Amino acid sequence: MLQSQATQTTRQDLTEVILASKLKKDLTYTQITEGTGLSEAFVTAALLGQHPLPADAAKAVGKKLDLDDDAIALLQTVPVRGSIGNSLPTDPTIYRFYEIVQVYGTTLKALVHEKFGDGIISAINFKLNIEKVEDPEGGSRAVITLDGKYLPTKPF
């Protein structure tokens, strides 16, 4: 039976164990994801305490990270989601995403409503992809694709 967490603490503690094992074993998220049948973004989010993993994926990840049976079971529980808290993010990378939403949030909202109507883009029925591409002007660019199902607002 699928279980749910009541606070973020337990999954945050597990995330620390996972990150320590990832570092010790010198593994990438891509390597950890292999054999799970899931996307790298989903598995990474799960390892960071934002999603439950299906049993087979949790066992595959647990084996690679030398997690015990309790940790593997915990990876399968529904977490209390949210990783930023109620204050401004201080990590520069996370802050840039916050900045993007601050600058383009109203634009995204206006264009979504103009194209789809009143509703939201799901973060549950959602896909995320990150690619590194070379910039013709030099350096690299990050191409981030957010692919969420549109859910219309329904009058009641």
Rg of the chain on CA atoms, in Å? 18
Q: Is 21 a catalytic residue?
A: no
Q: Which of 4, 16, 83, 99 is catalytic?
A: 99
CB atoms closer than 10 angstroms to residue 15? 18
Rounded-to-5 percentages of helix, strand, coil across the chain: 45, 20, 35
Q: Is 122 a catalytic residue?
A: yes
Burial class (CB in 10 A: 0-12, 13-18, 19+), 79: buried
Q: Which of 39, 96, 131, 141 is catalytic?
A: 96
Task: For residues 20 and 26, give the distance between their C-alpha atoms in angstroms, rounded to a whole number.
Answer: 10
Q: Which of 122, 131, 140, 141 is catalytic?
A: 122
Which residues lie closer than 8 Å to 101 by C-beta, 6 or more apart? 108
Q: Is 81 a catalytic residue?
A: no
Half-sphere exposure (CA, 13 Å, Cβ side) for 5? 22
Picking from 14, 7, 19, the residue whose alpha carbon sits closest to that of residue 72 is 14
Task: Tell me the catalytic residues.
Answer: 96, 99, 122
